C-alpha cells in the first residue's frame, strides 16, 4: 500500500530527482522504475541494514543493480564505501548530519551520574543484558533506556535493577530533554561496520559519548568518546572514566562537533554540485 501511494505521488508531482532510502529495498526499486518511465534520476541513501543483517541481506544483489542506475549512492562509512566502490558505482560518503535540536522539555533524573542509552532492541544488535548487569555494580548511576522495551524478553526486564529506567518512546520534546539533561549518552552495538545515530545525537547535543570499541566507531567519534568492549567490566570501566574525565570529554565532543559540521558543509556542497542545485 505504501509503495502504491509513493508511486501515485511521484506520478503526480514528477520530480526530476528522487532521494530514496534503502532499506527497504522496495523503495529504490520504485524510484528506479519511475526514473526509467519518466526520464528522471534518483539517489539511494543506503543505511547499514542495506549491506548486512538477516532482514535485508538477501537484497544486496538487487541493491547493486539499482546503484548502477543511480545518480549516486550515499553511504555512511568507509566500510560501505568500499562495497559500493567494488561494485563500480558512484558514491558519496555522508555520515554525520547536523541536527537542529530544540531546547526540549525537562526530564526528571535521579542519580549522581545519569546516562541515556538509545536502543532499538532488534536483531540482537545491542548488549542490553550486559548493561543491566553492569548497572547492578553501579548503584549510584542511573541508566535511561529509550525505545520499545516490550521487544525485550520478559525475563530480561524482570531482572533489571532499580537504577535502570525503561522510558519507552518519548514525545520528541521529552526525548531531547532527556538527552540534554544526562551526563553522557551510551550507544552500543554487537555489529561491526555500524555507525550509530545515537552517537551523532551525542555530538550534536555536545554530550560525552560511550560506545563500542569497533574500529569504525573509533574513526568517526575520535574525540569526547570513551570506547569500551561489550562486557560488564567494559561498561563499568567506561562509566567510571566518563565520570572522572567528564569536563575533558565535554570539551572534546564540542571540538568534534565543529569538525564534523565543517565536513558536512563540504559534503553537502559536493552533493549539491552533483544534483545541479
DSSP-assigned letters across all residues of 193-208? T---HHHHHHHHHT--
Residue 101, pLDDT > 70, answer yes
Instruction: Indicate the angle between helix axes 246-275 and 197-205, nearest 10 degrees.
Output: 110
Considering only CA atoms, which of 36, 27, 34 is closest in space to residue 13? Answer: 34
Say how far apart CA 98 and CA 19 lie, in whole Å.
18
Does residue 123 register a pLDDT over 70? no
Compute φ and ψ for 265, nearest 5 degrees: -60, -40
What is the arithmetic mean of pLDDT over 5-13?
95
- Please check the confidence at residue 167 and state whether its pLDDT lies above 70: yes
Beta strands 113-117 and 141-146 are: parallel
Structure-block grid coordinates of residue 177: 530533554
Whether residue 144 contacts residue 205, with contact meaning beta carbons closer than 8 Å, is answered with no
Model confidence pLDDT, tens digit, residues 11-46? 999 999 999 999 999 999 999 999 999 999 999 999
- The C-alpha cell that represents 64 in the structure block: 547493486
The full set of domain ranges for the chain reads 2-93, 113-258
> Is the peptide bond between 23 and the residue preceding it cis, with omega within 30 degrees of 0?
yes
Would the pLDDT of 111 be above 80? no
CA atoms within 13 A on the CB side of 244: 7
pLDDT at 156: 86
pLDDT category, 61, cuts 50, 70, 90? very high
- Position 244 confidence tier, pLDDT thresholds 50, 70, 90: very high
Q: Confirm if 179 and 144 have CB atoms less than 8 A apart.
A: no
**pLDDT at position 185:** 97
pLDDT band, very low/low/confident/very high, at 117 (cuts 50, 70, 90): very high
> Which pTM value belongs to this model?
0.83
Matching CATH number, 113-258, of 1.20.210.10, 3.40.50.2000, 2.40.30.10, 1.10.10.10: 3.40.50.2000
Give the percent of the chain with pLDDT over 70.
99
Q: What is the pLDDT of residue 150?
A: 86
Report CA torsion sign: 108, 235, 212, 120: negative
pLDDT band at residue 271, thresholds of 50, 70 and 90? confident
Amino acid at each position: 500500500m505504501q509503495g502504491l501511494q509513493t508511486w501515485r505521488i511521484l506520478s503526480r508531482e514528477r520530480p526530476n530527482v528522487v532521494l530514496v532510502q534503502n532499506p527497504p529495498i522496495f523503495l529504490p526499486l520504485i524510484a528506479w522504475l519511475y526514473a526509467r518511465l519518466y526520464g528522471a534520476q534518483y539517489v539511494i541513501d543506503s543505511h547499514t541494514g542495506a549491506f548486512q543483517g538477516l532482514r535485508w541481506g538477501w537484497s544486496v544483489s538487487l541493491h547493486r543493480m539499482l546503484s548502477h542506475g543511480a545518480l549516486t549512492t550515499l553511504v555512511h562509512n568507509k566500510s560501505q564505501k568500499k562495497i559500493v566502490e567494488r561494485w563500480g558505482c558512484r558514491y558519496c560518503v555522508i555520515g554525520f548530519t547536523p541536527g537542529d535540536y530544540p531546547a526540549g522539555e525537562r526530564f526528571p533524573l535521579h542519580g549522581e551520574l545519569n546516562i541515556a542509552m538509545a536502543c532499538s532492541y532488534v536483531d540482537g544488535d545491542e548488549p542490553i543484558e550486559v548493561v543491566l548487569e553492569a548497572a547492578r555494580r553501579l548503584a549510584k548511576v542511573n541508566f535511561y533506556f529509550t525505545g520499545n522495551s516490550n521487544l525485550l524478553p520478559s525475563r530480561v526486564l524482570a531482572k533489571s535493577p532499580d537504577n535502570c529506567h525503561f522510558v519507552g518512546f518519548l514525545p520528541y520534546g521529552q526525548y531531547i530533554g532527556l538527552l540534554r539533561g544526562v551526563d553522557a549518552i551510551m550507544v552500543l552495538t554487537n555489529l561491526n561496520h555500524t555507525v550509530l545515530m545515537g552517537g551523532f545525537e551525542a555530538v550534536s547535543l555536545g554530550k560525552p559519548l560511550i560506545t563500542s570499541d569497533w574500529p569504525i566507531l573509533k574513526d568517526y567519534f575520535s574525540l569526547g568518546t570513551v570506547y569500551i568492549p561489550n562486557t560488564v567490566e567494559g561498561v563499568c570501566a567506561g562509566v567510571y572514566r566518563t565520570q572522572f574525565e567528564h569536563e575533558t570529554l565535554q570539551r572534546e565532543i564540542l571540538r568534534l562537533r565543529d569538525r564534523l559540521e565543517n565536513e558536512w558543509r563540504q559534503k553537502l556542497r559536493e552533493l549539491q554540485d552533483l544534483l545541479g542545485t
